[in-house]
Amino acid sequence: MKKTLSYFLFLFIVVSCSTKDDAPANNCNASLTLETRGISTSSVILGWNDVLESQPAIYVAEFGPEGFNPGTGTIVETQEFEYRVEGLSSGTTYSFYVKKKCGNDNFSKNVGPRNFTTLSCQAIDLVTVSSIFETTARINWFMETQATEIEYGPSGFDLGSGTKISINRTEYWYDLNNLIPSTTYDVYMRNVCGTDLSPNSEVTSFTTLDVCKKPERLRLISVGRESLRITWDRGDNSSWQVEYGPQGFAIGTGRILNTSISNPLIEAGINPSTTYEFYVRANCGSEGFSKDAGPLVATTQP
């Protein structure tokens, strides 16, 4: 009988000790509150407070599209009270959870989800062009961007067929080079938000300057019965061609006067009491002629 009692007592002690030693540790406690800040089109700072810790412990954050199942998202581990996430899609809602890690397989319960929505990829709504010259022009935009895309081409080009330039900087201007003189261009811009693109801006158009600039301020100095004197601003040119004829004549069919002065007296073919039209263009040698200035209309005296 004593042997039987001793056996059962021994068995009870062994079972009790085994049960106590095999019990899982469940002492990983955390009291977390979740927050977000610094939300942009492609990034966010996930943050949390742990009222049980004055210094950061080890935390495991998990994030994914809104409504994802824990265990299927992106998991990160940190010893800080925050974690910055990059590479998100713009205009998208996400969820995240956080738990404390107390050992290899010892975690607190997940806290969450906390939802947040990234900013939409906003279109660039104001594009201007400045510093326009014969072969260059400066594109300006007035919105904070990290990256942008410019597409430009001759006026009326189809989007997608123009010249594209990717700009990965925060300056709000870009110089176009190797343009063609006397050409009208269309420009479109869009904001680049990580892997997302905003809609295109409204078209902005500009025209490059002529290499051979046409005369300016064509005007009449004096008029007689059989002669007239006209003038214009010289600019950088030194040679011009005057074409004139009776009012309404077709350009290319009138009288031609080649001159190196900018205030010539015109006498050939001038009759009294007659109305004439005058056109002037600069002669730039190998660069050709400028566009015509005019018509200047004048009537001779009776």
Structure token pair of residue 96? 């995240």
Closest by alpha carbon to 116, among 186, 179, 65?
65
- Dump pLDDT digits (tens) for 116-133: 999 999 999 899 999 999
In this structure, how many other beta carbons lie within 10 angstroms of the beta carbon of residue 270?
19
- Dump pLDDT digits (tens) for 183-238: 999 999 999 988 889 999 999 999 999 899 999 999 999 999 999 999 999 888 99
CA distance 107 to 103: 7
- Give, rounded to a whole angstrom, the gap between the first and last alpha carbons of the chain: 157
Which of residues 40 and 66 earns the better pLDDT score? 66
Q: Is pLDDT at 14 greater than 50 in this prediction?
A: no
Does the bond joining 246 to the residue before it have cis omega, within 30 degrees of 0? no
Which of residues 107 and 169 earns the better pLDDT score? 107
User: What pLDDT is stored for residue 26 in this prediction?
Assistant: 57
Structure token pair of residue 47? 């943050």
Q: Is pLDDT at 6 greater than 70 in this prediction?
A: no
Q: Is pLDDT at 21 greater than 50 in this prediction?
A: no
User: What pLDDT is stored for residue 236 in this prediction?
Assistant: 86
Q: Average pLDDT in the 29-54 region?
A: 91
Which of residues 5 and 60 earns the better pLDDT score? 60
User: What pLDDT is stored for residue 24 in this prediction?
Assistant: 43
> Which residue segments constitute the domains of the chain, with CATH numbers given?
32-117 (2.60.40.10), 127-207 (2.60.40.10), 216-299 (2.60.40.10)
Closest by alpha carbon to 130, among 120, 122, 141?
141
Q: Average pLDDT in the 155-179 region?
A: 94
Looking at every residue in the chain, the average pLDDT score rounds to: 90
Distances (CA, A) of 293 to 40, 216, 221: 54, 7, 16
DSSP for 211-273, written as a single string:
SSPPPEEEEEEEE-SS-EEEEEE-TT---EEEEEEETTPPTTSSEEEEESSSS-EE-TT--TT
CA distance 114 to 49: 13
DSSP for 160-183, written as a single string:
TSSEEEEE-SS-SEEEE-SPPTT-
Q: Does the reported pTM lie above 0.85?
A: no
